[in-house]
Amino acid sequence: MLGPAPSCLLPLVEEYAALVSDSRDPNWELIEAKLIDHHEWTPDAAHSLVKMAKQYGWFFLRNAAALAIACDHEDADLGI
């Protein structure tokens, strides 16, 4: 089951939901591999994305995304 998402993010949420066979017990390693193989993420970027999603969750990251957008801080310090 997907958590609440702003309407502007629904297409992206649906795209990534297709990578997850079981949202209650996601296979993070498989998701990372699919990001690299099918979604053109670099290995470092895919690893960072999965790590942040796993460690912080959508509530925290939604707020971090809103703050980054408000500050017009797109690519950030990691350069991903």
Ordered DSSP codes for 14-63: HHHHTT-S-TTS--HHHHHHHHHHHS---HHHHHHHHHHHHHHHHHHHHH
Query: Are 48 and 78 a contacting pair, CB within 8 Å?
Result: yes
Positions in the chain short of pLDDT 50: 1
pLDDT of residue 9: 81
0.95 surpassed by pTM? no
pLDDT of residue 4: 66
